Structure formats: structure tokens, C-alpha cells
């Protein structure tokens, strides 16, 4: 068989599904077709992962090795933030580095050098009761305030980072001497987070704390949105754990997190932190579940597997309905709405807040939930839009066919879930590593969760 270029493989993937096997009695032909399609799909996913991974490798902030908040290929940067690193996005980047080493995008030695540098930097920069701020000026190691009062610890961004730290630790903890040293550094950083401080003595976690403004932001974290991982890790901490009551009263609202609302006749399962009857942006179904495996995951109130899968299915149903007749929408075309760049700045898109802007991370990071539709989405982009939406670090952050709007910009928090969740779909690697952490298993049991990983 002749070697195929990537373009040839993509064409195979695009065309095989529409081909008709003339001899329906020929099982060999049918099996050959399935095998060829599987190979084409596998190559497609590797291409997406490898190119997107470069955001966290070649595109990383050069001094720290951590993830830049944004990269604009068009060269226009707001707020002079070319060297600003994001803590949450860097957590996604840590998990992406593990994927990169496992898939051979970089060597183990290259990954080890980068991770040593990252761990040392995270140890040096200012922390707030063990938690990191949302942003730092990477080149000088100083906090960049997210807003006037948000100039200290951010426990949600810290949770996203800690998710990555535990994945790194689990990946390296039984490796070479160099790898075990990295694992130890990651473990020390994880153990230093004072989750209990962020309750402010109440039965709920608060998002922010600052030495200057203390709990002045007064943002209680209650479900459902992207923050479940904060409570799971806070309960799992071997050094500063919260009580289970904080989870039940704070996140789960004593059962009020459960919802009977349906969208397109699909149960939402959980009450989204949006206006009544609406579902939120799809990143709510991704960020907590990069490491936390939702398959078979439930507490005494809700099934999180149903919540995330149905969230994606609602987006697909909306794309099929396409009530505003926007260009390109469909279950086998463009779909997926989340927080991303928008035609006018930045917006948290969802079916009830649709500006004709589609964000590739929404569908691609949903691949474990809706694999057929997510792969169809990727093929639609390659086949119809190509370099309008594809660039140096994978698919650009957002686009609108209706408005002929194709900005060449990237955000760390959108690129990371693409790499990680495609890997979880393909091998379950990151899910298995995170769920293998003994503290996580203890924490989930403490909160009354059920999961196949807890058997």
C-alpha cells in the first residue's frame, strides 16, 4: 500500500463514510472499509492533538515553560499580556505535556526538563494560603490582578492546576530518579494548598482570597458550573481537607443541584448556573473532567456522566434545529458553544446566547461524550474551512461562517481540553492517571461518590 499524505488520509476519512459497498455480501470488503476508516480517523485525531499540543510546547512562555494566557497570530495583544501566564491553562498544559510524551510528540527527556523548570517556578512565585493567583507576569514572577479585588489566590484556577500536578505525579512516581524527583515536587505543591482556608469558616468554598481584600470578592462556589473539581480536590487533600458537609451544603446545595429541566427533550440532570431553563457554556462539561472521569460517576444527587453527555447532546440538538438559520450548523457540521473569543470581544456562548460564533474546543473536547459528532465536526472544518480555522497551534479559538469572521487567535484554556479530552477518548490515559491517585479515591468516597474506579 502506498504511503498517504495527511491530506490523503483526511480525504479517506471524509469520503469513506459516504461510500456504498456495492457487494453487500462481501464481508472482506466491508471489513477493509471499516479498517481504513479507523486508520483515517486515528490519523486525524493525532494530527489535531500534535498541532494543538504545540501551544503548550513551542508556544509556552519561554522563561517559565508555562502556558501563555493567549497567543495572537495576528499580533494584536490586549492589556500588554504577551508574557502573562495562566494558572488554570497551565494545569491543562501539564496534562498535555504528559500526552505529548506518551504519544512521542516530544521525548521523555525534553518533557522532564520542562517539568522540572515548571515545578521550580511554581514553587518560587507568590502563593496565597498555598493557592496561586489567576495570572502572573511570567517574565518577572509577579501577580497580574484579574480585577481590582482579584489580586490574590484563586482556588478554582488552583484546582485546575492541581489536577495537572496529580496527573504528573502519578505518571512519574515509579519512574527513574529524575522522574521521581519531578513527582515529589508536584506532590509538595499539591500538599501546600490550604483548601480549608477558602471556606472562610462556612460550609462553602469561596473562589478568591487576597491579603489586601481578604474575602472581599465574596464569590461562593455553588453547583453547577466548571468548579466541581475544586470540591473534589478540597475533600481529597491530605493536609488541608474540607468536611463533606461543605460539599453537600456548598456545591450540591443540599440537593438543589438536581434538576428536572429538559432542553430539546434531553434531561439536563443538573441545575446550571445560568438563567432558569438555560444550559451554560460547554466548558462546564470539560474543565473538571479532564482528570476526573465522569464515566459512571455519581453522588447521591446526580449522575455526572448524564450531566456532561447530555450537555453535549443538547448542543448538537440545537445545531440541528438552528433556530436563527446561521450558516454551517448541523450535527455533522459545525456545532458547540462555550466561552471564547466573540465578534465583539469575549463571550460565554451557549444555545440561549448564540452570536453565530462556534468554538472548536466545545465539540472537540466533548469527544468522549459524543465521538461521532465530534469527529464529524473536525472533518467538516478540514473539508470546508481548512486554513480559515486551522493554524500554527491547531484550530483557532472561534469563528463565524455567518459573519465571515475568522480571527487567528488562541486561548490556553480552550486549547488544553482539546489535547486532553481527545486522549481520554482514545485511551483514557489522563482519566486513569488522575483517578489512580489514592487521595482522590479517598476524597470521592468521603463525599459519597460512586465510580468504577472506586471498586
Give the separation between CA 100 and CA 97, rounded to whole angstroms: 5
State pTM to two decimals: 0.93
C-alpha cell at position 11: 480525504
Strand partners, 71: 410
Which sign, positive or negative, has the C-alpha torsion 109, 47, 90, 88?
negative
Give the separation between CA 352 and CA 278, rounded to whole angstroms: 7
CB 84 within 8 A of CB 138: yes
C-alpha cell at position 357: 460564533
Q: 144, exposed or middle or buried, with CB in 10 Å at 0-12, 13-18, 19+?
A: buried
Give the separation between CA 194 and CA 209, rounded to whole angstroms: 11
CB 87 within 8 A of CB 150: no
pLDDT 10s per residue in the chain (455 long)?
A: 334 444 554 555 555 454 443 444 566 666 666 777 788 899 999 999 999 999 999 999 999 999 999 999 987 765 567 899 999 999 999 999 999 999 999 999 999 999 999 999 999 999 999 999 999 999 999 999 998 889 999 999 999 999 999 999 999 999 999 999 999 999 999 999 999 999 999 999 999 999 999 999 999 999 999 999 999 999 999 999 999 999 999 999 999 999 999 999 999 999 999 988 899 999 999 999 999 999 999 999 999 999 999 999 999 999 999 999 999 999 999 999 999 999 999 999 999 999 999 999 999 999 999 999 999 999 999 999 999 999 999 999 999 999 999 999 999 999 999 999 999 999 999 999 999 999 999 999 999 999 999 98
**Of residues 159, 133, 156, the one with CA closest to residue 146:** 133
Amino acid at each position: 500500500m502506498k504511503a498517504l499524505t495527511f491530506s490523503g488520509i483526511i480525504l479517506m476519512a471524509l469520503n469513506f463514510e459516504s461510500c456504498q459497498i456495492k457487494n453487500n455480501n462481501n464481508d472482506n470488503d466491508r471489513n477493509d472499509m471499516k479498517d481504513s476508516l479507523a486508520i483515517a480517523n486515528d490519523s486525524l485525531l493525532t494530527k489535531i492533538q500534535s498541532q494543538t499540543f504545540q501551544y503548550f510546547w513551542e508556544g509556552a512562555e519561554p522563561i517559565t515553560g508555562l502556558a501563555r494566557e493567549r497567543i495572537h497570530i495576528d499580533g494584536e495583544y490586549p492589556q500588554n499580556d504577551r508574557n502573562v501566564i495562566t494558572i488554570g491553562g497551565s494545569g491543562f498544559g501539564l496534562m498535555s505535556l504528559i500526552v505529548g510524551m506518551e504519544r512521542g510528540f516530544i521525548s521523555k527527556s525534553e518533557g522532564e526538563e520542562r517539568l522540572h523548570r515548571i515545578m521550580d517556578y511554581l514553587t518560587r512565585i507568590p502563593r496565597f494560603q498555598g493557592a496561586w493567583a489567576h495570572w502572573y507576569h511570567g517574565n518577572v514572577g509577579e501577580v497580574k490582578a484579574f480585577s481590582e479585588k482579584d489580586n490574590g489566590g484563586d482556588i478554582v484556577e488552583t484546582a485546575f492546576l492541581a489536577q495537572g500536578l496529580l496527573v504528573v505525579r502519578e505518571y512519574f512516581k515509579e519512574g527513574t530518579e529524575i522522574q521521581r524527583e519531578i513527582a515529589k515536587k508536584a506532590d509538595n505543591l499539591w500538599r501546600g494548598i490550604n483548601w480549608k482556608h477558602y471556606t472562610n469558616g462556612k460550609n462553602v468554598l469561596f473562589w478568591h482570597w487576597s491579603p489586601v481584600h481578604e474575602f472581599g470578592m465574596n464569590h461562593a462556589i455553588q453547583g453547577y458550573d466548571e468548579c466541581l473539581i475544586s470540591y473534589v480536590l478540597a475533600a481529597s487533600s491530605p493536609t488541608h481537607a474540607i468536611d463533606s458537609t461543605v460539599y453537600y451544603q456548598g456545591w450540591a446545595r443540599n440537593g438543589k443541584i438536581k434538576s428536572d429541566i429538559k432542553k430539546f427533550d434531553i434531561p439536563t440532570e443538573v441545575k446550571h448556573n445560568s438563567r432558569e431553563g438555560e444550559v451554560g457554556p460547554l466548558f462546564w462539561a470539560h474543565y473538571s473532567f479532564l482528570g476526573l472521569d465522569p464515566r459512571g460517576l455519581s453522588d447521591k444527587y446526580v449522575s455526572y456522566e448524564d450531566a456532561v453527555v447530555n450537555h453535549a447532546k443538547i448542543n448538537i440538538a440545537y445545531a440541528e434545529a438552528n433556530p436563527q438559520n446561521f450558516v454551517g450548523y448541523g450535527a455533522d457540521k459545525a456545532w458547540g458553544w462555550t466561552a471564547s473569543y466573540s465578534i465583539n470581544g469575549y463571550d460565554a456562548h451557549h444555545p440561549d446566547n448564540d452570536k453565530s460564533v462556534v468554538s472548536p474546543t466545545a465539540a472537540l473536547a466533548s469527544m468522549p461524550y459524543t465521538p461521532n459528532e465530534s469527529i464529524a465536526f473536525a472533518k467538516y472544518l478540514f473539508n470546508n474551512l481548512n486554513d480559515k480555522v486551522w493554524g500554527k497551534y491547531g484550530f483557532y479559538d472561534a469563528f463565524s461562517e455567518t459573519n465571515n469572521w475568522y480571527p487567528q487567535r488562541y486561548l490556553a484554556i480552550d486549547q488544553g481540553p482539546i489535547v486532553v479530552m481527545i486522549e481520554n477518548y482514545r485511551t483514557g490515559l489522563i482519566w486513569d492517571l488522575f483517578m489512580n491517585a489514592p487521595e482522590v479515591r479517598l476524597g470521592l468516597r468521603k463525599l459519597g461518590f460512586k465510580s468504577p474506579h472506586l471498586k
